[in-house]
């Protein structure tokens, strides 16, 4: 899941970049040119393909004792505390742990809830 401040990502032939702003006159998406240290329109790049939607975070709610549970690639169970919930502008709520987004967890456990017996 991709997040950024504008909710848009620019795709190029062999890379992608976060859209950081919009040109107020042309309404063209702007990205950072790290070599020149300036914002440039995506249309300045010949390999620009298109823009795609990303998730724009508009709020964060504390985890309050929830936990994310997975079985790793070796089928070993792993459980991590959910530090918080990211709320996006589209109403999606994504749990996150110290390792990052936990939207791929097998089970979300409420406070005090135990895993069902297998």
Q: pLDDT tens digits, residue range 29-73?
A: 999 998 999 999 999 999 999 999 888 888 999 999 999 999 877
Contact assessment for residue 23 and residue 41, using Cβ atoms and an 8 Å cutoff: yes
At residue 85, the pLDDT reads 95
Q: How far is CA 83 from CA 48, 54, 64, in A?
A: 37, 22, 8
Strand order across the 107-109 sheet: 77-81, 67-71, 107-109
Return the sign of the alpha-carbon dihedral for residues 63, 67, 69, 72: positive
At residue 118, the pLDDT reads 56
At residue 46, the pLDDT reads 96
At residue 116, the pLDDT reads 73
CA-based nearest residue to 79, from 117, 107, 116: 107
Confidence of residue 8 (pLDDT cuts 50, 70, 90): very high
Whether pLDDT at 111 is above 90: yes
At residue 55, the pLDDT reads 84
Instruction: Report pLDDT digits (tens) over 69-106.
Output: 998 778 888 899 999 999 988 888 999 999 888 888 99
Whether pLDDT at 2 is above 80: no
* Spatial separation of the C-alpha atoms in residues 95 and 86, rounded to whole Å: 6
* Spatial separation of the C-alpha atoms in residues 58 and 71, rounded to whole Å: 30
pTM for the predicted model, two decimal places: 0.64
């Amino acid at each position: 899941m991709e997040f950024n401040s504008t909710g848009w990502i620019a795709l190029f032939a062999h890379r992608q970049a976060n859209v950081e702003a919009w040109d107020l006159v042309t309404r063209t998406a702007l990205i950072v040119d790290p070599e020149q240290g300036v914002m440039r329109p995506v249309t300045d790049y010949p390999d620009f393909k298109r823009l795609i939607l990303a998730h724009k975070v508009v709020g964060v709610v504390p985890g309050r004792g929830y936990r994310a549970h997975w079985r790793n690639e070796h089928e070993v169970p792993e459980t991590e505390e959910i530090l918080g919930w990211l709320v996006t502008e589209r109403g999606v709520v994504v749990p996150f742990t110290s390792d990052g987004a936990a939207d791929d967890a097998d089970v979300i456990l409420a406070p005090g809830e135990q895993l069902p017996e297998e």
